[in-house]
Structure 1
Amino acid sequence: MANPHFKRILFFLQKRFYNAVSSSTNPNNSTKMVDRITDASYKRKTSIEICNSTSHLSFHIQYLTKACGLSLDSAMSASKKVTLVGKNKFHYDSVVSCFKSHNFSDTHIAQLIEKYPAVLQSRISSNVEPKIQFLIQNGFDGLLLPEFVVSAPLIFVRSLDAQLKPLIALLKDFVSSPEKILVSVRRGSWIVSADCEQLQQNLDYLIEQGVPKNRIADMFVWQPRCMFHVNDRVKYGVEKLKSMGISPSTPMFIHALRVILSLSESTWKRKRKIFESLGWSYDDFISTFIRNPLCLCCSEEKLRQSMDYFVNTIKIDKQSVIGHPKILMFSIEKRIEPRYRFWKILGERNLKRPAFIWMLDRPENGFIKHYVTKYSDTDPDLLQIYQKFKEKTISPEGEEDCI
């Protein structure tokens, strides 16, 4: 029986080159060709081209799977991004060896080439090696080096002097460690291609407005995209928050700025209307946002469901929600409903219980410790009851918390 991998490769090659021949023999392109060569010579030429191309592609897939450790599917996908040919094998081997000499594991190399297969064509002496040495000099040593490179392979298409050096210098001025810079890059690999001049303008503006440098560093780590908006957008967000009474020097400011910059004006208005539809005033909405800006990161559907559940099912008063907006971010299926049903059981058994909102805010382990196993001596079945509530309310694709 034929090897299934070989059959897949053969099918892939046949399909690719059938399309190539069909395209080249399109009637719209054939007239001039026929005028220049005979049908026989044309067919011979096409056959030679296809054989050569097939050979190149066969080498490409074989090299990526055997020498670089890619899966067959990844190698086929890479063939659409770059063409590797057998005559350049020595260079490709040299690139792989260069990474191995800097303690890149086989897994790191496979991940890097899968993301950016053209790295195999990069010049070692003028591209790969200088950038690796620069990263090492700036603290990206040990495991940090391959993880940074794999997270941001586009460093190999960006200028070391014009892009990478000024970017790392800017980041190091705010972010305290290479580890945190790596976290930031993992959350936005496009950072290595970002406009450094625009970033500098945003940094200068935020400092001028009174945002502490350590808070700006937190933004780099938590949500780097905020730092790379156009300057007018950042100014709009800062002024909007100041108009709400949120001072740039407060810890909450950067969380609010993250949310404001991530929402369009129309989305902001739609989310505000969800609150207003339940009788909240604009001031109520702003108070909720100021206390916990991240609650507006939830989708409109999630906010609508949570608000409806608290107001109409549990009958929690508006001021309690305003005072604890974090509860809007919890999953109804995974946290709110099973705890609410358990809270009612405690009441039915005349057991001491706090206001429901306090039970809701506890982490799962703390909740079980303080409100479930606490009564194990007198009511040993409470844990089993709570677990059943959890099982009944969580679907196979249960809703996640927004936090």
Structure 2
Amino acid sequence: MSQIFYKRLLYVHLVQNPSLKSFSTTVATVCRGQPLSFTVQYLINSCGLSLETALSTSKQFQLDESKPDRYDSVLTLLKTHGFSKTHIAELIKKHPSVLLINADKILKPKMEFLLGFGFSDSAVSDLVISNPSIFDRSLKSRLKPSLDILMKHVQSKEEVLKAIKRSSWLITFNLSQTLQPNVELLIKEGVPISGISKLIVHQPRVLLQKTDRLVSTIETVKKLDIRPTITTFVYAIHVLSSMSELTWNRKIELFKGFGWSEEEVMLVFRRDPYCLACSEGKVKKVMEFLMGTMKLHPSVMISNPKVLKHGLETRIRPRYMVLKVLELEKLIEGIDGNKKFSRVFGLAEETFLVDYVLKYLGKVPNLMDLYCASVAANSVDTNGPKVRTALQKIQKLKMEFGL
């Protein structure tokens, strides 16, 4: 390829990307007559990297011009196993040294191992892109032992696959020195395998903390009268492990600020630990609404702690608005201070629409529109993912009901 081509390529690219000032020195050098290196050309033409990414990568990484077949064999193997051009570009951008790995002796056995375990081609590509270091770890001393440990403590192969898809780093960690001792500790405390399995699949980092810290957390949970044999025990461990003692105490004080006793806070925690995993800002806003606007007594939240976890903007306020409209139309009894209406916030969307919207459309024709508008209006960002999801769900149900 001629130097004129390189100059034109660079010129067009820089016109389209005028902010690429960090590459001005490299561009100037090329334009003075020095062609792009083999590494840059290969990264662009064979791997699909952009010019700026290829130039940046080539500063710390070089390919041998005499070994293109070696690099091609890596790309061919990836394509054979379903890696798209986008997948390959993303992988090489993250981990260019994968091109230096022997395709037949190292990469292929690892790919076959993952496929043989149960991962699909698409799952393998997602897994490797999420954690490219999989290709760097020893199959014999790291990948296989990690999967063996997971299989030992997770209830099914399907759950192991789910765990690794959610947390791809699990397969590359030295689990025998991190996760295994903590699992043995929980077993010794009487935690059933079902609880341990839930932690590994959904919150594995809890089991990678230092064992002495986990011991301390376990003792705290036991002092709260949460038995190791119930599922709530591992949830409580997760929540306490996720925050500092300072944050924990601050959340307790937040509840006390609303007139709660510490025992009432602990009662809520024992029933649903994740209530205290909510941010202080969320808890404060929900409590202000439930206790201030709705005049609910703390006993309502204690008996139904899940209400504290619902979204204020996407669920509580919009549903409260519907209830207030029905109250004003004298279609339901007074709702403020009435504990039974706190259960409304926990209803599935379809159930709520059937019981509190569709049921009354004959007397309040615009009730559905009011509800949809309220979901959007009560959000600071009406394009936020939670609000968008809520509205999409409502619109889907409207279509199903023929509205």
Pairwise same-fold verdict (TM > 0.5): yes
3-state SS of paired residue (2:74): helix
Deviations 1:215-235 (A, max 9, x none): 211211111111211111222
Instruction: State the one-letter code of the partner of 2:48.
Output: G
Structure 1 position 286, deviation (Å): 0.7
Contact preservation (8 Å) 2:155, 2:193: no
- Tell me what 2:147 maps to: 168
Counterpart-to-counterpart distance in 2, 1:142 and 1:400: 31
3-state SS of paired residue (2:363): coil
3-state SS of paired residue (1:163): helix
3-state SS of paired residue (1:350): coil
3-state SS of paired residue (2:178): helix
Which of the numbers 204, 222, 225 marks the counterpart of 1:242? 222
Which of the numbers 239, 261, 270 marks the counterpart of 1:281? 261
- Tell me what 1:206 maps to: 186
- Tell me what 1:382 maps to: 367
Structure 1 position 141, deviation (Å): 4.3
Instruction: State the one-letter code of the partner of 2:222.
Output: K
Instruction: State the one-letter code of the partner of 1:362.
Output: L
2:299 aligned with 1:319:
yes
- Tell me what 1:370 maps to: 355
Structure 1 position 248, deviation (Å): 1.2
> Residues 291, 108 of structure 1: CA spacing in aligned structure 2 closer, same or farther, 3 A cutoff?
same
2:122 aligned with 1:143:
yes
Q: Please say which of residues 390-399 and 309-318 is displaced more in the overlay.
A: 390-399
Structure 2 runs not aligned, ≥5 long = 1-7, 388-403
Instruction: State the one-letter code of the partner of 2:145.
Output: P
Contact preservation (8 Å) 1:198, 1:228: yes
Contact preservation (8 Å) 1:332, 1:399: no
Structure 1 position 389, deviation (Å): 2.5
2:329 aligned with 1:349:
yes
> Residues 202, 81 of structure 1: CA spacing in aligned structure 2 closer, same or farther, 3 A cutoff?
farther
- Tell me what 2:344 maps to: 359
Counterpart-to-counterpart distance in 1, 2:155 and 2:33: 55
3-state SS of paired residue (1:158): coil
Contact preservation (8 Å) 2:127, 2:168: no
Instruction: State the one-letter code of the partner of 2:36.
Output: S
Which of the numbers 2, 15, 27 marks the counterpart of 2:25? 15
Counterpart-to-counterpart distance in 1, 2:60 and 2:196: 37
Instruction: State the one-letter code of the partner of 1:94.
Output: S
Q: Please say which of residues 78-87 and 158-167 is displaced more in the overlay.
A: 78-87
Report matched runs for 1:2-401 at 5 Å: 4-5=12-13, 13-16=23-26, 55-56=36-37, 59-72=38-51, 74-75=53-54, 78-79=57-58, 82-177=61-156, 179-196=158-175, 197-352=177-332, 355-396=340-381, 400=386
Structure 1 position 71, deviation (Å): 4.4
> Residues 161, 336 of structure 1: CA spacing in aligned structure 2 closer, same or farther, 3 A cutoff?
same
Counterpart-to-counterpart distance in 1, 2:127 and 2:161: 6
Structure 1 position 186, deviation (Å): 3.9
Contact preservation (8 Å) 1:148, 1:182: no
Counterpart-to-counterpart distance in 2, 1:99 and 1:385: 52
Structure 1 position 66, deviation (Å): 3.1
Contact preservation (8 Å) 1:112, 1:153: yes
Structure 1 position 373, deviation (Å): 0.8
Counterpart-to-counterpart distance in 1, 2:156 and 2:101: 29
Counterpart-to-counterpart distance in 2, 1:271 and 1:76: 50
Deviations 1:73-116 (A, max 9, x none): 65455446633454443221111112223333334323322332
Contact preservation (8 Å) 2:146, 2:172: no
Counterpart-to-counterpart distance in 2, 1:214 and 1:227: 15
Contact preservation (8 Å) 1:271, 1:300: yes
Counterpart-to-counterpart distance in 2, 1:385 and 1:14: 56
User: If the length of structure 1 is used for normalisation, what is the TM-score?
Assistant: 0.82
Contact preservation (8 Å) 2:251, 2:276: yes
Instruction: State the one-letter code of the partner of 1:282.
Output: E
Tell which structure's C-alpha radius of gyration is larger: 1
Aligned residue pairs total 369
Q: Please say which of residues 108-117 and 216-225 is displaced more in the overlay.
A: 108-117
Q: Please say which of residues 188-197 and 202-211 is displaced more in the overlay.
A: 188-197
Structure 1 runs not aligned, ≥5 long = 19-46
3-state SS of paired residue (1:372): helix
Indicate the RMSD between aligned Cα atoms, in angstroms: 2.9
| Identity between Structure 1 and Structure 2 (%) | 35
